[in-house]
Amino acid sequence: MTQVFRITNVEIFGVNQEERTIITKLLKQKSIFTTQLPQIKKIVMTRLPYIEVKEVHIQLPSTIVLSVIKEKPLAFLRTDHGYFVLSKKGTILKKERLDDKPAPFITFYQTPHQSEYQMGQKIGFSTIMKALGFITLLGGEGYTVETVAIDSVDMIACKTKGFEVAFSQTRPVELQRHEVRQIIRQIKAGALRIERLDLRFDKPVVQLPPK
């Protein structure tokens, strides 16, 4: 009876073929009754940290059906040999050894060494996490970030097609988010055109485009 109810078939929605093969190997031959959602979540995330199992359905005698959520690519961080593909949560989804610069492309003054990180690992720099948050903020307002330059300990410069925003690493993030939204509201209303917005000071500094 125990051998009959072993997992021999795993159906998964929301993953690619490589990930499907890995997950199937992780779960195959385990007991279909004792391997429940919490255990399956832990097993999968140990090997593929960017994949979260949301639902498990059992189809007797030996099939389980998984519904998963994957962290999606948000930005690309330059490394010493190519770049990392990062999710919103700072998870390294992929390591590329290419010379191209997909957008939004982040350059960081402490260039990470590609060999020191593995796929699924968190990037770990608070500055880069702030940059990912600012990319998300501007994207939510309708402005796609093309490049992010983190050249010093104080500034995160996000360049969009319309203008550049220099965020501060030391001022409260929520305050800067509020200031950006206020300026963008004026831009969308047609009351303001800007070339650069600097949020590193007590009050936002707006640089107007040349006449």
Cα–Cα distance between 29 and 9 in angstroms, integer?
Answer: 9
List the domains of the chain with CATH numbers.
9-70 (3.10.20.310), 73-207 (3.40.50.11690)
Among 125, 203, 200, 137, CA closest to 166: 200
**What does the block give as tokens for 50?**
């960017």
pLDDT digits (tens, 9 = 90+) for 102-128: 999 999 999 999 999 988 888 989 999
Binning pLDDT at 50, 70 and 90, where does residue 98 land? confident
DSSP 112-160: PPGGG--TT-B---HHHHHHHHHHHHHHHTT--EEEEEE-SSSEEEEEE
Cα–Cα distance between 47 and 65 in angstroms, integer?
Answer: 18
Cα–Cα distance between 58 and 44 in angstroms, integer?
Answer: 17
Report, as an integer, the average pLDDT of 59-74.
Answer: 91
pLDDT of residue 107: 97
Specify the pTM. Answer: 0.80
Give the number of other CB atoms < 10 A from CB of residue 74: 20
Binning pLDDT at 50, 70 and 90, where does residue 192 land? very high
Q: What percent of the chain has pLDDT over 70?
A: 98
